[in-house]
Chain A
């Protein structure tokens, strides 16, 4: 079947038109480059799960050399910012007003019980509203206290051995730096936004302005229209991805242990899925207004919460785990965290890449189906 022009020339024309549209409204370029730069900057510097300088109230009812050495250890620790209180009531008031995160309470009987062989109780009160932070702080306190205990026993001429000595090896991120896992995950969230933002408006805009009907009466085929939309935004999105990876490696010093080519290849697959989702939003919505609303609802929060970027998917209830399978960012997060921190782990890369290809195919298929229906 021959028409006036070969397909690739029509496609070239469409791409050129899209290119002019991108150049003339700078918001597309801003989406591809300003959005990732701003967000990575804020995130990379702003977000950390490593608690430091935790305000901790210290209440010592009867000072003695033993309490002084314990308190000294807390003052020297980089985790705590100790605040001294004279009695437990004012300290509890401070805990209630969120001035301190916890209270370490050494009662007046502490020294006496310690000398009589103990065990002398040390009270630790924590504000548990943020359960995760409370658990981390409890761990820090236990660490400082455990070290003091061994030293104290030694000073008394006793050897304190614990039955089990836990030797922890945390692979891929031995210093447990949360930036190393937050930044790769964040790239997945940002790329979801970029993909959906770039394309969610473009088809809806053509329908809203009536130019879609105009396009459809030309010899251009639907496939060419969709490709003409995809290619320019794909190029733009990959530019954003390269910028994000460069910032991750050079600005935030996240190690890149896998190969750059694998990373870029999977990024391209993911970007296609994200752009496909944007096109689907654009096709389902009748106008830009609804497309924009759908984009806000369906992109950021699902990618943030359900991708495993910050919350462990394995610990979600089964039915929620099933739902996470329709979030493209989920597959990308796994690949990013592996390629950045662990290297090219092929079983992880292949399974997730296949999933991304399937998602892209489903999105594109739905877009074609919905677009054809609109014509009737």
Chain B
């Protein structure tokens, strides 16, 4: 009996995997049904549907990058403090002295890559007509996930608190003050007034809601930190679950009808 067989025959191994290794046909079926991570997939699948030149694997890579971002992000959260006093210095330390400071590089490049792969996933799904019935609603979920990916990247852009960060966020969030009706420089903001007093001012409009302040300051840093690390990832994780579930329920990877 080899060491591998001895391990696979042990009670511990059996308790975790519940069946022999997927060497034969029966166990290759069983492994897909009993493994939590693998049960996202069907047991068998159309050969052309999983061809790389068909799927480009971009949806899968996007999800993998989401996991990479989560793991590296959690590690970065151990070091980084979102305050005016520390934010920049912590990033500086990550670059210069912290062990495994490369997590920041992986996090940032992974974020850029994720934006690109999510676009390409959308491109592929459009070009194969996979949004057509019965997959219409999953396309809608996908568009929301695309938007969340951009927002995740956008909120994370501020956290290093350097010149690149605050000015990119300033330029981006300045748009919000022109929101129709709800921005203090937007058309129709005059409609919201009480007895001649404007309800929408630079301290109560959409931009203020986003920034928590009249300019990109410490409140903004806090707001973007919570959005970046908690709120948007939670929303995205929930929608990803729905997205995957609907892929299965809507008939799996799209194929010629």
Do A and B originate from a single complex?
Answer: no
List residues of chain A with CB under 8 Å of any chain B CB: none
